[in-house]
């Protein structure tokens, strides 16, 4: 059991939580909103960003320009079927997504979603800690490491989880502030 491996897993969990936060919209246009959308392209689920150029010409519009014009309708359908809650406007060459201003109630719902994603990230961190501590205990029982080394490793693992949990909390607070900013 290596501490560096545990830390690597925790870092990946924090990064995954950050990516999840990026898919929650704030009051501004952000191309990351479309990261989770996949389009059925020739029978294969393909990420939208692989099929189209995505830009934000202003703070309230996302512009999607498919590389192949024939995919315009399937891209529009995929956006409509997704859970982002935006209606695509197809003008024959590009798709525009207008980002309406958020109501106070919607902002509160989004903050709850952020809190839920944050808790999921923390649960993942705790699972990593549990697995690492179990591995340390097995090493101790088999005689690979001493009782003192096992205790030191467990303390180090706890310090890591404290560090990465606080990172998740910080990301959560930043995203909540971003959502509540009008």
Rounded CA separation 18/3 (Å): 23
The string of DSSP codes covering 112-171 is HHHHHHHHHHHHHHHHHHHHHHHHHHHHHHHTSS-HHHHHHHHHHHHHHHHHHHHHHHHH
Residue 29 has pLDDT above 80, yes or no: no
Name the nearest CA neighbour of 95 among 84, 105, 108, 104.
Answer: 84
Please name the helix (run of DSSP H) or strand (run of DSSP E) that holds residue 8, with its range, or none.
helix 3-22
Residue 182: pLDDT band (50, 70, 90) is: low
Q: What phi and psi, each to the nearest 5 degrees, are found at residue 55?
A: -140, 165
Residue 173: pLDDT band (50, 70, 90) is: very high
Domain(s) of CATH 3.30.1360.40: residues in the chain = 31-98
CB 90 within 8 A of CB 66: no
Residue 1: pLDDT band (50, 70, 90) is: low
Lowest-confidence region among 23-32, 33-42, 73-82, 88-97: 23-32
What are 113-145's pLDDT values in tens digits? Answer: 899 999 999 999 999 999 999 999 999 898 888
Q: What's the rounded mean pLDDT across residues 49-55?
A: 86
CATH number for the domain whose boundaries are 3-22+103-180:
1.10.132.20
Identify the bridge partners of residue 63 per DSSP, sorted by sequence position: 55, 96
Residue 28 has pLDDT above 80, yes or no: no
Domain(s) of CATH 1.10.132.20: residues in the chain = 3-22+103-180
Which tops the pLDDT comparison, 30 or 78?
78
CB 28 within 8 A of CB 60: yes
Which residue's entry shows tokens 């989004």?
A: 110
Identify the bridge partners of residue 38 per DSSP, sorted by sequence position: 47
Residue 167 has pLDDT above 90, yes or no: yes
Residue 111 has pLDDT above 80, yes or no: yes
CATH number for the domain whose boundaries are 31-98:
3.30.1360.40
């Amino acid at each position: 059991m290596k501490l560096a491996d545990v830390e690597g897993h925790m870092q990946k969990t924090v990064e995954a939580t950050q990516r999840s936060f990026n898919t929650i919209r704030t009051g501004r246009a952000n191309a990351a909103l479309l990261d989770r959308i996949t389009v059925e392209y020739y029978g294969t689920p393909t990420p939208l960003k692989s099929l189209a150029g995505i830009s934000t010409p202003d703070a309230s519009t996302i512009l999607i320009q498919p590389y192949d014009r024939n995919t315009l309708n399937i891209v529009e359908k995929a956006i409509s079927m997704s859970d982002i809650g935006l209606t695509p406007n197809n003008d024959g060459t590009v798709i525009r997504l207008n980002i309406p201003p958020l109501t106070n109630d919607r902002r509160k719902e989004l903050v709850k979603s952020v809190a839920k994603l944050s808790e999921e990230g923390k649960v993942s961190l705790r699972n990593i800690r549990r697995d690492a501590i179990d591995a340390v205990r097995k090493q101790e029982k088999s005689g690979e490491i001493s009782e003192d080394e096992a205790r030191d490793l467990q303390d180090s693992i706890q310090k890591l989880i404290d560090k990465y949990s606080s990172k998740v909390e910080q990301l959560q607070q930043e995203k909540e502030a971003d959502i509540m900013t009008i």
